[in-house]
Amino acid sequence: MIKERRVLLKKDFHIIDTARFRLRMDNKEREIMGKKDLAFSAKYNSAHTKAYHEKHSASIGRRLSNWREQQISAKVLEMAGDPEVVLDLPCGAGRFWPLLAQKKNREILAADNSEDMLRVAQSVHPAHLLSRIQMFQTSAFQIDIEDGRVDHIFCMRLMHHITQPEDRIAILREFFRVTRETVAVSLWVDGNFKAFKRKRLEARRTHKKYRNRIVIERSAAEREFTTAGLDVRGHFDFMKYYAMWRIYILQKRT
Ligand SMILES: C[S@@+](CC[C@H](N)C(=O)[O-])C[C@H]1O[C@@H](n2cnc3c(N)ncnc32)[C@H](O)[C@@H]1O
C-alpha cells in the first residue's frame, strides 16, 4: 500500500516517504527539480529586476518595512549562532549584504536564479562590499554547491511565492543537504489580521486561478520543515497579530 502510494506520488513530484521520511533527494530527483520552471521565477528578467531593487526605497512605508526586516534579520543571525559561512539564497539585489558583512570574518555566498538580478546586485553595491561576496547563479531546487558547504542558509522572500507544498519541501530538502547547522526562511503565515483580510479578498476573486504569492498555515509550514529534517529553533514576527511576515530559524536534524 505504502509502495503504491509512493510511486503514484513521485510521478507528481510528491516525494515524501511517509513510512520513514527521506531527508534528501537522490541525484535524479534533484536534476528534475532543478529544471523546474515556476511562473514567478520568469518574472525576474531585466525589466523587473532594477524595479525590484528600487522598490524597497521607493516610499516611507517600504523603507520602514525594509528597516524592520533588517532589524529582525540581525536577530535571526544572532539566534542562528552568528554563523561563519552563510548562503544568501535568493539574494535578489543583495539587500541583506551590508548586514551579513557586518561580521568581519564571515564567508558570504550569494545566489539567485536570475542572472539579471545578480547583474543588478553587482551594479548597486560598492566594490569593498562586493569583494566580500561570492556570487553565483543557481536554482533553489538544485543548489550548485556541495553537501554541508555552509553553516547557515538565509532565505528571504522566496517561500511565499512557492505555492505547491511538494515544491517547498523539495527546496527545504536542498537546504538540509547544503547547510551544516541552520536555515532561516521568511514566509507569509496565517493567524494575523492581514492574513484574515487576504483570505476574504481571495474568496471574492473567484476568476483568478494563478496565485503569485500565498499565505501558508503555520501548522502546515511547520510540518513541511519537519518532513525535510529541519526542526524549529524559533521565529520572529514582523508585527505580531497584524502582519503576515514571519521568519523561522530552523535547525538541521542530525
Ligand atoms: C522577492 S525576491 C527576494 C530577493 C531577496 N531575498 C530580498 O529579500 O530582497 C525573489 C527572488 O527569488 C529569485 N528566484 C525565483 N525563482 C528562484 C529559484 N527557483 N531559485 C532561486 N531563486 C529564485 C528571483 O530571481 C528573485 O531575485
Domain harbouring 180, CATH code: 3.40.50.150
Nearest Cα neighbor of 175 from 228, 220, 226 is 228
Nearest Cα neighbor of 53 from 4, 97, 107, 106 is 97
Q: Is residue 10 part of a domain?
A: no
Residue-level pLDDT at 56? 74
> Which domain, by its residues, includes 166?
23-252
Residue-level pLDDT at 98? 98
At 216-235, the pLDDT tens digits run: 999 999 999 999 999 999 99
Pocket of ligand 1 (CB under 6 A): 38, 41, 44, 90, 92, 95, 112-114, 117, 139-141, 156-158
pTM of this prediction? 0.86
Q: Is residue 4 part of a domain?
A: no
> Is residue 16 pLDDT above 70, yes or no?
no
Atom 1 of ligand 1, residue of closest alpha carbon: 157
Mean pLDDT of 113-137: 97
Q: Is residue 229 part of a domain?
A: yes
Looking up cell 561563519 gives: 84
> Is residue 134 pLDDT above 70, yes or no?
yes
> Is residue 12 pLDDT above 70, yes or no?
no
Q: Is residue 104 part of a domain?
A: yes
Which mutation among 44, 116, 122 tests ligand 1's pocket best, with the greatest number of atoms within 8 A of CB? 44
In the reported structure, the alpha carbon of residue 90 is separated from the centroid of ligand 1 by a whole-number distance in angstroms of: 4
Helix (H) or strand (E) holding 177: helix 165-178
Number of domains making up the chain: 1
Q: Which is the closest atom of ligand 1 to the Cα of 140?
A: 20
